[in-house]
A = this chain, B = another copy of it.
């Protein structure tokens, strides 16, 4: 594997702070260069040794991430019929993210819907249909196979990257998959689906009264792992250049005991 063939698909962790008011949230150092020995006497006492360490304080769902199956409930139930009350302040007693700790590697397929439609980015609010997914796969000459991890590119993230301002990325309307793709995804037995928007699915919702209908269908009902806020621009360029839209995708979750989600840095390897 050459270095060029590896693509990291993650946003910087501190980026999430950029869509809030406080750029400094995220990491906090508790030992830094200011704590290092500085006077000759200190340097001697420490034999010249110094170091730094830091903490992180972050929502586990605030950057490139996997949702666990404990993330969404429907009528008080999680996937596999577990009671939502099993997720408490102690975390998720069932369906937590650490259960997937050695599972998130496999064949990845990029479906670059924006490129297939000849646009830089789909319009906010555009719901990607089964026909879109099939047309994209056909145009790319790639087949979606059982066990695949599907990456759906809307191009939407490029809007925020281009203006270098992430405010409202989480609240603005965005393009994404239609809830009506769920049966198609289920029939193909994909292992996971991820996108470059905030929620995989389109916003606003296609169904009045339901804020995130695809989440409800996919997570507590289908048991499908969702990946959000994936940075797909470099990978898309790479796939367009060599015409190969399938690769080894390695996206290990942090095995956070009883965690509901996990930040990740997925790698696509060709």
Contacts and interface: CB of A to CB of B under 8 A. Distances in A.
A60 B55 contact: yes
A264 B267 CA distance: 13
Interface stretch (A123-131, A151-159, A253-261): A253-261
Given A37-B76, A87-B29, A252 B265 contact: yes
A74 B51 CA distance: 8
Contact of A28 (B8, B12, B28): B28
Question: How many protomers of this protein does the assembly include?
Answer: 4
A254 B266 CA distance: 9
Contact of A57 (B19, B55, B70, B212): B55
Contacts of A266: 252
A250 B253 contact: no
A36 B78 CA distance: 11
Nearest to A170: B21
B255 A98 contact: no
A139 interface: no
Interface string A20-41: 1110111111111111111000
Nearest to A28: B28
Interface stretch (A100-108, A109-117, A172-180, A181-189): A100-108
Interface in A43-69: 43, 47-61
A170 B22 CA distance: 11
Given A22-B20, A60-B54, A216-B48, A10 B255 contact: yes
B28 A29 contact: yes
A232 interface: no
B250 A14 contact: no
Contacts of A215: 51
A257 B29 contact: no
A202 interface: no
B14 A258 contact: yes
B49 A12 contact: no
A83 interface: yes
Given A27-B258, A29-B90, A52-B260, 17 more contacts: A10-B254, A12-B98, A13-B255, A20-B21, A28-B55, A29-B30, A30-B89, A30-B90, A31-B89, A49-B72, A51-B73, A52-B70, A54-B91, A55-B59, A55-B60, A57-B57, A254-B263
Interface of A: 1, 3, 6-8, 10-15, 19-22, 24-38, 43, 47-61, 70-76, 83-92, 98, 101-103, 105-106, 170, 209-212, 215-216, 248, 250, 252-261, 263-267, 269
